[in-house]
Amino acid sequence: MTGPEPAEAGRLLAAARRPVVFTGAGMSAESGVPTFRDAQTGLWQRYDPQELATPAAFRADPALVWGWYEARRRGVRRAEPHPGHRAVAAIVARLPDTVVITQNVDDLHERGGVPAPVRLHGSLFAPRCSACARPAPIPEDATAPEDDAAPGDGVASGDAVAPGGMPAPPDGRVTPPACAGCGAPVRPGVVWFGEALPSAALDAAVGAASGCDLLLTVGTSALVHPAAEIPLVAARLGAPVVQVNPVPTPLDAICAVNLRGPAGEVLPALVCAAWPDADAG
């Protein structure tokens, strides 16, 4: 980070008492987890994520959609939090009223030291019945050599072996387990296009954004609603918004400071700028 912006962002963070950290897929990119709108790799490159992440896609081809999420879950399992995740945890440690709101379905904030982020779009680790919503067990991961590949390859590399160690079909499809209660297919515990966000999480996010004195938005394209409105709520009520993203987004215009760079570098530098004595991870 160069120029006056990092110092200004550091001043805003040092002055904050109730910040919100709002994260998207770019937060996990340096851990090797592909962003949602990145090109998919391996078996999945011919599919558009926006078309797979829908209830209609699951109804039409449950094994295709379940196989995609299983491959992504295995990729996330192999990923590790990076210094940006630890910098967010350092902010929470310094300012206990911080609220971390994430659109991500991985668990890297938790493993990076933020115990309970507000999850707007669910989790890869909370499968449930598609009919009766009964929670279902997370399938066991196979321990095959292919699963030792880098997390960024997860979408492709984990595909050679299905959960339970059975060889996966070459097209990546994995039949979802049946619900132990009603026998319907189990589905990923994420929020798909056209589905309502969990109301408790959305209420918590809107409440935090309404009462915050700084909103730090990290690694989101801000294209998906209603999540993309969270920074707008904060800005409308007078809180400064600081954005971390290597490229411009629709949020640029409302941001007090735009820090153009990767989260893993910018966030530790921001914590050091705010609190020079801090261990930024």
The footprint of ligand BJW (CB under 6 A) covers 24-26, 29-30, 35-37, 53, 103, 105, 121, 190-191, 193-196, 219-221, 223-226, 244-247, 249, 262-263
Tell me the residue nearest to ligand BJW as measured from the CB: 26
Of 129, 212, 255, 273, which lies in the binding site for Zn ion, with binding defined by CB under 5 A? 129
For residue 23, the cross-strand partners are 102, 218
Q: Provide the residue type at 186 as one letter.
A: V
Stretch of 31-39, 127-135, 216-224, 244-252 contacting Zn ion, by CB under 5 A: 127-135
If the CB atoms of residues 150 and 180 are measured against Zn ion, the closer one turns out to be: 180
Partner touching 219 among ligand BJW, Zn ion, none, CB below 5 to 8 Å by kind? ligand BJW
Stretch that binds Zn ion, among 19-27, 105-113, 128-136, 266-274 (CB under 5 A): 128-136
179 binds Zn ion (CB under 5 A): yes
Number of helices and strands in the chain (H, E): 11, 8
C-alpha distance from residue 24 to each of 85, 105, 191, 218 (Å): 12, 9, 14, 6
**Of the candidate residues 181, 207, 248, 276, the single one contacting Zn ion (CB under 5 A):** 181
Find the shortest distance in angstroms from Cβ 137 to ligand BJW: 20
Q: How far is the CB of 141 from ligand BJW (least distance, A)?
A: 19
- The yes or no reply on residue 136 touching Zn ion (CB under 5 A) is no
Token digits of residue 170: 């070459």
Closer to ligand BJW at the Cβ: 180 or 203?
203
Q: Which is nearer to ligand BJW, 211 or 226 (CB)?
A: 226
Helices marked H in the chain — which ranges? Answer: 5-15, 26-29, 49-52, 55-60, 62-78, 83-94, 108-111, 154-157, 199-211, 229-236, 263-274
Closest separation in Å from C-beta 210 to ligand BJW: 19
With respect to Zn ion, which residue has the nearer C-beta, 83 or 127? 127
209 binds, among ligand BJW, Zn ion, none (CB under 5 to 8 A by kind): none
Determine the Cα–Cα distance for residues 154 and 223; give it in Å rounded to an integer. Answer: 25
Active site residues: 121
Nearest to 190 by CA among 139, 123, 128, 136: 123
Q: How would you classify the pairing of strands 257-259 and 241-244? A: parallel
The nearer residue to ligand BJW, 160 or 190, going by C-beta atoms, is: 190
248-257, Cβ contacts within 8 angstroms, sequence gap of 24 or more: 249/220, 249/221, 249/222, 250/222, 250/223, 251/217, 251/220, 251/222, 255/217, 256/8, 256/12, 257/5, 257/8, 257/9, 257/12
d(CA 57, CA 29): 25
Size, binding site for Zn ion by CB under 5 A: 8
Q: What is the smallest separation between the CB atom of 96 and ligand BJW, expressed in angstroms? A: 25
- Min dist CB 136 to ligand BJW, Å, is 17
